[in-house]
């Protein structure tokens, strides 16, 4: 991570261990992940033992310790979305992209995430694609979107039938 950017995120938190979660969230939002270097710097500036930074970074689902893909596809797995078939969407993504939730495709293009409720329950099943909320998603619609994104990245379409 660019050191100037990291330093500016840590500015208001010097000697403030209570700011750890906020700082980690800022770094995550800015870089897409928390690097070892960032954690060491955070430990120094905030005055938190390195182990504690690592514990917090691995405790909360918001943080990723590895870089995320170019496109993030988050499937809501809340109760309302679940009864409307959200598991089908995860299955579809597994078939299309070959990765499980929390993983990124080897080419670094797609990260699949699952989240436990985004609060748009009446609109389920909900998938958040690169920050945009898609509602009433179906496996077919999801397949179409992945296809479009792949095309935009210049990738060939993947046939999923064995």
Nearer to another protein, 22 or 130 (CB): 22
With b for 16 or more beta-carbon neighbours within 10 A and e for fewer, the 49-80 pattern comes to: eeeebbebbeeeeebbeeebbbbbbbbbbbeb
Instruction: Candidates 82, 99, 105, 109: give the one binding another protein (CB under 8 A).
Output: 82
Nearer to another protein, 4 or 148 (CB): 148
Pattern 59-78, another protein, x by CB under 8 A: xxxxx-------------xx
Residue 37 binds to another protein (criterion: CB under 8 A): no
Region of 3-11, 54-62, 104-112, 149-157 interacting with another protein (CB under 8 A): 54-62
One-letter-per-residue 3-state SS of 87-112:
HHHHHHHHHHHCCCCCCECCCCCEEE
Distance between CA atoms of 149 and 133, rounded to whole angstroms?
16
Please report which helix (H) or strand (E) contains residue 43, including its range: helix 36-46
Region of 3-11, 84-92, 103-111, 148-156 interacting with another protein (CB under 8 A): 84-92
For the chain, what is the total number of helices (H) and then of strands (E)?
A: 7, 4
CB of 148 to another protein, least distance (A): 17
Instruction: Candidates 27, 38, 45, 56: give the one binding another protein (CB under 8 A).
Output: 56
Question: In 10 A of CB 20, how many CB atoms?
Answer: 20
Cβ pair 17, 47 in contact under 8 A: yes
Residues making contact with another protein (CB under 8 A): 16-22, 24-25, 36, 39, 46, 48-56, 58-63, 77-85, 87-88, 91-92, 94-96, 115-124, 126, 133-135, 138-140, 143, 160-162
């Amino acid at each position: 991570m660019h050191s100037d950017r990291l330093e500016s995120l840590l500015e208001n938190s010097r000697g403030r261990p209570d700011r750890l979660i906020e700082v980690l969230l800022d770094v995550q939002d800015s870089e897409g992940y928390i690097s070892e270097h960032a954690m060491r710097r955070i430990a120094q500036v905030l005055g938190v033992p390195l182990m504690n930074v690592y514990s917090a970074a691995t405790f909360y689902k918001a943080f990723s310790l590895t870089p995320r893909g170019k496109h993030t596809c988050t499937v809501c797995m809340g109760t309302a979305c679940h009864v409307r078939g959200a598991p089908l969407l995860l299955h579809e993504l597994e078939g299309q992209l070959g990765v499980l939730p929390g993983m990124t495709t080897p080419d670094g293009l797609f990260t699949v995430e699952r989240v436990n409720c985004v609060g748009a329950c009446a609109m389920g099943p909900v998938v958040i694609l690169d920050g945009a909320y898609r509602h009433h998603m179906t496996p077919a619609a999801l397949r179409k979107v992945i296809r479009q994104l792949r095309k935009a990245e210049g990738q060939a379409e993947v046939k999923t039938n064995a």
